[in-house]
Amino acid sequence: GESVGLHLPTLSVQEGDNSIINCAYSNSASDYFIWYKQESGKGPQFIIDIRSNMDKRQGQRVTVLLNKTVKHLSLQIAATQPGDSAVYFCAENKGGGSQGNLIFGKGTKLSVKP
């Protein structure tokens, strides 16, 4: 029979609008979080990161918000452009510390309508 693949959560926005992508993390001991952007058929690219001693960090057109109380992370993209269309992954470091092992979420697919 036909196999059915898993469907990513999808966010569709109009060009020029702001986008908010959400992520719930699992490990309260994680002290580092990172967002990656992955275009189709390519490797993930770093967008922005944040340490647990911060609530907010801003980059160019992007902002990451961290709510440790509810273990929630969000990525905000201002003035979304067609080139922002991609899958976005959040990741947390495993068990804290700086060992580099990251746990990745399943991703959210962002589609930007012109």
Contacting residues toward another protein, per CB under 8 A: 5-8, 32, 34, 36, 41-46, 49, 89, 93, 98-102, 104-107
Quickly tell me which residue has 């060009």 as its tokens: 15
Contact criterion met (CB below 8 Å) for 90 and 38? no
Report in angstroms how near the CB of residue 15 gets to another protein at its nearest: 25
Cβ closer to another protein: 13 or 102? 102
Asked if residue 80 lies in contact with residue 17, where contact means CB atoms within 8 angstroms, the answer is: yes
Nearer CB in complex with another protein: 105/112: 105
Which of these, 71, 64, 72, lies nearest to 34 by C-alpha position?
64
> Of the two residues 14 and 94, which places its CB atom closer to another protein in the complex?
94
